[in-house]
Structure 1
């Protein structure tokens, strides 16, 4: 085919290459026809040469006019039929392209170039098997045909055979080491195989051969993004749009990379340019999401609605509208739409043969399995519905990940907690996050009884002396610098009173747990997390012992850095190596007075335990925290401290510090709604004085039943 046959990249698949199909390039080898000599031009050979010259120069209408005239004169002119088919393919008329090439092959069945180009036209129609067959025929006729190897690699890649695509790209490069297209397409195949370092090397080889090729810069950007190098990726996307200002896919991917760095305003600019060039549903959704990332929720909605007008089934547009509805508290409509969430993610819907999903049928005497989904915080927030469903007459089992198994068993109404596929028959199953919709939950009917999760009493008691010892160490450390003073300072007096009283906590003293970051794999973690060093002003407050609830190597590194800061006098006690699951974390939290956390699973855990929890909510926060509220209808003991501008936590931290500096009697309930009646704790030791004992190791099937006396 001619050099202008390259197709654009697909912005919805960031690791796609800008595919570069090749041909024998007959047009490039043809000499210009001498139009001055009318007699020579009248000769069919001269006319065909003129057609090839126009074709190679991109004058497609002129070329096809000559091809057509040649065929009218000689319907068996195989080359004219072949290259007229190529023109039709380049103009997007792939079916007529195939018809013309079939006619050509009827007269010249051994034309390897025509077989190769027919394969590309078939590929454009999504006929991957047919395309591969055509290209293999081209290679049978001409085993050393490098372009056919390259084009077969494209067909195999589109069919999902990335290893096969790699083989044929390498075969093309063995025959033609300077083939830019083969280097690019090898990079694409390797990227699909997850070998991004190798893909990057291929794109760099291609760039050395064609430094002004915008598509190569685009693919380099994609490979760098996959390797986490957003800054360099942005530079290549920028180069791509400088070389080709109408390259919509490059604008989109540059916007996505800028968003990953937190520069949402620059991302918005890129998406606006992409929408200007290609106002399709995908680009409109990207623009809307960039506005939402800045907390501009009212502005983002029109773009999702426009996207749905173009594509009523666009999953991301529909899902983003759902988030907006839920964030506004429009639960009736929001929950109904939320059921379509599986179309917008890779999560596989749960299915057990013979078990029906519950749709609101009567539950008296029925067995129901409540199934986990999504993150730990989601599961903690919605496992409360096990009690609601049990209240409707169901025998409820829950299926949860192992770290939540012990706590899930403590939910009132839960019969058994499982970590794997449960044994036995159930009448119904239900995703835990489908429960609000199935139960008809409105903003004023949220089941807000707390606590609904309970740590075991034996575990709570096990943590008590460790927390007390840490607190005593802090009191003694605070008293030492003042020990020689004639007056008896408050810290020294408090330390002595604790020692005399057997480690009772002094009046006004607080033990506070802290979580400052979430999972680094979470899409919004950059915005919801706060650097530990930003909490320095809180650590200067008196009568507080701090306890880290932040697990992981990164957390330990931040704690070590803070410990080496001479300006910080407070210690942050870190027992996280002993937190094996959420049951352990819950038991530690029950020995604390307050938890301060960013929007993570621990914030949900503290709220579900009924402990006071102060939550730092980002400006582009999740739907569950609603809008402009300092409280949460889901957690009566929660108080929300909201970020005003994306990227700037200081005002929220200042507000939190001021609240913490108030008298504890006020901070314990400030901003919190009155708690609903407490549910009984199934793990609590009986009044007979018999202590709880740890459960035995759960059976291999994952069952854990701590209350065998339940029906």
Structure 2
């Protein structure tokens, strides 16, 4: 199979939740790698492969985080299982996540990743998104780790946390904030988006930019309603009830269909019936949430 074929087979397996089949593809890709290209400095960090396939049992392991903030939060669940097998585990993660992930038990060090000066290799290096395959553990076997800190402040009962905006990766994931106006008018809401809120919110100036500050807001709301961005992973990792609004051709991690996610037990998924159509999604969310007492 070509590299394109293997990638397609992996995507298909992940979208149907067949992790064993996805790991088989991972194993084939790993076997085909040229060892000389491991952690290749000529490649952008997110395109590098790191783990060489050798056992990490009894070895000092460095987990590198070369992808997005949401990716790190999603796969951090495997760190305690890794720590149970390794001599020690150090985590090199995005600076914004250091305060949050430093709360995880079992880690020897949590280091801010400096792209200009990465930490030297350890006895065993692995990228955080390789952990599920390396450990052969399904997400259900490793619940999201306990990361919750204290809420920012007492919020009215039933308060919703709203996130309608994403970064530059895929603007098709965004929801026009006007479509959330009925929720914002019917329930107390806080914005989880930086900057002035275009909706009636308890924090009209928007969410502070720091992850720790966002986590404190998320910890205090009754439910998060969010598009596919870091906030979805943050809410899931904090074990908060979260409603995820997905575009039609959603990312592999959310499976091909269904309202539940094996990654986050507290998540409820609403999917576009057709590309670009958000109105039916928000109508279904409103039917769910406006009948709740909070």
Structure 1 distance, partners of 2:215, 2:276, is 30
Aligned to 1:447: 141
| Equivalent in the alignment of 1:325 | 13
CA drift at 1:335: 3.1
Offset from partner CA, 1:283-302 (integer Å, 9 cap, x none) = xxxxxxxxxxxxxxxxxxxx
**2 CA distance for matches of 1:571 and 1:376?**
25
Query: 1:516 aligned to 2:164?
Result: yes
SS in 2 for 1:629: coil
Distance 2:228 2:256 in 1: 15
Q: Which residue of 2 aligns with 1:551?
A: 194
Counterpart pick for 2:258 among 626, 629, 638: 629
Q: Check whether the contact 1:384–1:447 (CA below 8 A) recurs between aligned residues.
A: no
Higher relative helix content: 1
State which of 117, 120, 123 in structure 2 corresponds to 1:427. 123
Say whether residues 1:579 and 2:209 are aligned partners.
yes
Distance 2:225 2:132 in 1: 27
**Is the contact between residue 360 and residue 439 of structure 1 (CA under 8 Å) also seen in structure 2?**
no
2:72 to 356, 379, 385: 379
The one-character-per-residue Cα deviations of 1:263-321 (angstroms, maximum 9, x if unpaired) are: xxxxxxxxxxxxxxxxxxxxxxxxxxxxxxxxxxxxxxxxxxxxxxxxx43x4443233
Distance in 2 of aligned mates of 1:571 and 1:585: 15
Question: Are 1:537 and 2:187 counterparts?
Answer: no
Q: SS state of the match for residue 446, structure 1?
A: helix
Q: CA deviation at 1:338?
A: 4.4
State how far apart, in whole Å, the 1-side matches of 2:19 and 2:126 are: 19
* Per-residue deviation, residues 205-255 of structure 1 (Å, max 9, x unmatched): xxxxxxxxxxxxxxxxxxxxxxxxxxxxxxxxxxxxxxxxxxxxxxxxxxx
In structure 2, what is the Cα distance between the partners aligned to 1:389 and 1:664?
41
Q: Cα distance 1:550–1:660, how it changes in 2: closer, same or farther (>3 A)? A: same
Deviations 1:369-420 (A, max 9, x none): 1110221111110011111101224311111111111112112222211113
Which consecutive unaligned segments of at least 5 residues does structure 2 have?
Answer: 38-42
Segments of 4+ moved more than 4 angstroms? 338-343, 421-425
The aligned counterpart of 2:225 is 596
Is residue 2:48 matched to residue 1:349? yes
Q: Note the 1:226-375 alignment, pairs <5 A.
A: 312-313=1-2, 315-338=3-26, 340=29, 346=44, 347-349=46-48, 357=51, 359=53, 361=55, 363-364=57-58, 366-375=59-68
Separation in structure 1 between the aligned mates of residue 264 and residue 280 of structure 2, nearest angstrom: 24
Tell me the TM-score normalized by structure 1: 0.37
Paired residue for 2:95?
402
Which structure has the highest strand share of the two?
2
CA deviations on 1:616-662 (whole Å, 9 max, x unpaired) are: 12210111111221111111111111111111111111110011022
Return the TM-score normalized by structure 2.
0.84
Query: Which secondary structure state, in structure 1, belongs to the residue aligned with residue 258 of structure 2?
Result: coil
Partner deviation per Cα, 1:571-626 (whole Å, 9 max, x = no partner): 4524546332x122111211111111011110000100111111112210111111
Q: What is the rounded CA distance, in whole Å, between the counterparts of 1:438 and 1:632 in structure 2?
A: 21
Q: Give the secondary-structure state (helix, strand or coil) at the position aligned to 2:108.
A: strand
In structure 1, what is the Cα distance between the partners aligned to 2:159 and 2:207? 19
Q: SS of the residue aligned with 1:657?
A: helix
| Secondary structure, aligned partner of 2:83 | helix
Classify 1:617/1:448 alpha carbon distance in 2 versus 1 (closer, same or farther; 3 Å). Answer: farther
RMSD: 2.7
Structure 1 unaligned regions, length at least 5: 1-311, 352-356, 472-508, 563-569, 666-711
Change (3 A) 1:451 1:350: closer
Report the Cα distance in structure 2 between the residues aligned to 1:540 and 1:348, rounded to whole angstroms: 44
Q: Distance in 1 between matches of 2:129 and 2:23?
A: 9
Report if aligned partners of 2:235, 2:241 keep a CA contact under 8 Å in 1.
yes
SS in 2 for 1:540: helix
